[in-house]
Amino acid sequence: MFPNLDLILLTLLHGSFVIFVLLLVILTILLVLLIAFSLGLFSVFLFDLHHFSSIIFEFSNISKTWQKRRLGEFGAKAQQYSKRHHYVHHGLKTVQ
């Protein structure tokens, strides 16, 4: 019926095979790029996490010393107030 039908089918089969191989190569390249991007993003995340964790630990050490200093100042002020209050209270007692 159709002249050279076998050659047309062979060309269609060959074209389909070439398209399949090209799609397979493109998908493989995209998968490799996705994996590389994911690994790069994960490594940047780990680097930032390490950097910020060291900053957080430094901040906690600084805040601990700051808290100790503030508590020491508060304790000194409280002690001065209690001495002053004790003297005033004691002085009033002796005046009466």
* pLDDT at site 96: 43
Q: What is the mean pLDDT of the chain?
A: 80
* pLDDT at site 53: 75
Please spell the DSSP secondary structure of 23-61, one letter per residue: HHHHHHHHHHHHHHHHHHHHHHHHHHHHHHHHHHHHHHH
pLDDT digits (tens, 9 = 90+) for 16-62: 999 999 999 999 999 999 999 999 999 999 888 887 777 777 666 66
Asked whether residue 95 carries a pLDDT value surpassing 50, the answer given is no
Which whole-number Å values give the CA distances from 26 to 3, 13, 18, 31, 33, in the listed order? 36, 20, 12, 9, 11
